[in-house]
Amino acid sequence: MALFGTDGIRGLANGQTLTAEIAVDVAVAAAHILVESSSNKGKRPRAIVGQDSRASGEFLEAAVAAGLASAGIDVYRVGVLPTPAIAYLVGESGADLGVMISASHNPMPDNGIKLFSRGGGKLDDSIEAAIEKRMGEPWTRPTGRNVGRIIFDETASARYLNHLAASVTTPLKGLKIVVDCANGASSFVAPIAYEKAGATVVAIHRSPDGWNINENCGSTHLEDLQAAVVKEGADFGIAHDGDADRCLAIDGAGKVVDGDAIMTILAIGFKNRGGLTSNTIVGTVMSNLGFMHAMKNAGISVISTAVGDRYVLEKMIEGDFSLGGEQSGHLIMREFANTGDGILTALQLAQEVVRSGKSLAELASQMQRFPQVLINVSDVKKDKLDESAAIAKAVATAESTLGENGRVLLRASGTEALVRVMVEASSDNLAQDIATSLAAVVKAELGN
């Protein structure tokens, strides 16, 4: 597929793969595919459309809304809200589809289009392929009263906040939290959500201007949050990315608590309260080996999937599991949502701190992280990765050296011409040496 990657369409806004014209075409094709397969027959189709705070989101959102309305769909614009808010609102309202204009943690010049089907789930690869195939095809255009309307939904933000509040059963009174909103979609809801739950909140990078999303802030740049947590004497900090579908945490001493550590804390907490279905959590092939060991020690089984929250969710639904997620901070708790929600994750994490009476650092110490080195080898023929005997031999040698105290993972990027080389080992130096050696072999074998 030329357009759709692992998480919708993403690229340079107004560049070759993400123009206003493409946004209109995608919207029209999505309308045809998703509405045709909808059980909501006989009623005017509806769509929820939101965006993060990028300036380019303004023209892309307008293009998507125009495309949907021209295909006979009523469009409910909700403005700047997190991606999981769009997923929730689609399910809550019974809409036929949802569209989020966002490039998540990517830098400001990029943008993207994420689609949600009826119920609020992300689209299967087969549906995305069908949408792409329909783009540009002739179609019968509705006229008169059959064209769609475009309405701004002024209640959307409040409904999403109420949904978040309903997930809180243990008030956060007594906690002081610093939240880095990445000048993105969480800016207008995350601080309010934590305050409504009872916490004292200090918000930073909460002033989006269209250009500063993810700029030296948020989950990809934790330095400001680390400093703010220590300066404020806060219990911990929360970092969101541009569209707030993930979160990372900072403990009271300024140390990073990543997605694997957060999953460890929640999985053990859920298990202790009888809320972890089959005592199983779903992770990905990128989950740290220390996470695997922590789960084994806690009597919790781990099922691994390919990287991507859609694959985590598929496995969760298949086994009716309650908790899953990624090292990046995408966590899914099916009791509350069918997509990763950074604010929801942070609320659940904060409740575990209150319930346990322990600090975040103490809870995070349940997992001893193995040193992990990730090298992106760019400008390579990633499709040939599995065909190289030299690479296979190098990986086998590395695995033999590491034994049970490490692992190797080579993975082709879903959106870029690069191969990710990941090595975990008992020491930083060993992980770095092996990763550097493997990256050199990959470059030599697959370089353009």
Residues known to be catalytic: 104
Q: How many CB atoms sit inside 10 A of residue 166's CB?
A: 9
Structure tokens of 39? 């059980």
Q: Do 201 and 220 form a contact (C-beta atoms < 8 A)?
A: no
- Helices 342-356 and 259-272, interaxial angle, to 10°? 60
Closest CA to 77 of 144, 135, 175, 154: 154
How far apart CA 352 and CA 356 sit, in angstroms, is 6
d(CA 151, CA 90): 15
Amino acid identity, residue 349?
L
Place of tokens 């990029």: 110
**Beta bridge mates, 447:** 380
- Give the β-pairing of 407-412 and 418-424: antiparallel
53-72 burial, b if ≥16 CB within 10 A, otherwise e?
A: bbebbebbbbbbbbbbbbbb
Closest CA to 374 of 423, 429, 446: 423
Residue 79 CB neighbours (<10 A): 17
- The alpha carbon of residue 251 and the mean position of all alpha carbons in its chain are separated, in whole angstroms, by 21
Can you read off the two tokens belonging to residue 369?
């992280």
How many residues in the chain? 448
Question: Over the Cα atoms of the chain, what is R_g?
Answer: 22
Contacts of 325 (CB under 8 A, 6+ apart): 259, 262, 263, 281, 282, 283, 309, 312, 331, 332, 340, 345
Amino acid residing at 306: A
Backbone angles phi, psi at 227, to 5 degrees: -65, -40
Q: Residues 370, 327: contact at Cβ < 8 Å? A: no
Residue 236 φ/ψ, nearest 5 degrees: -170, 175
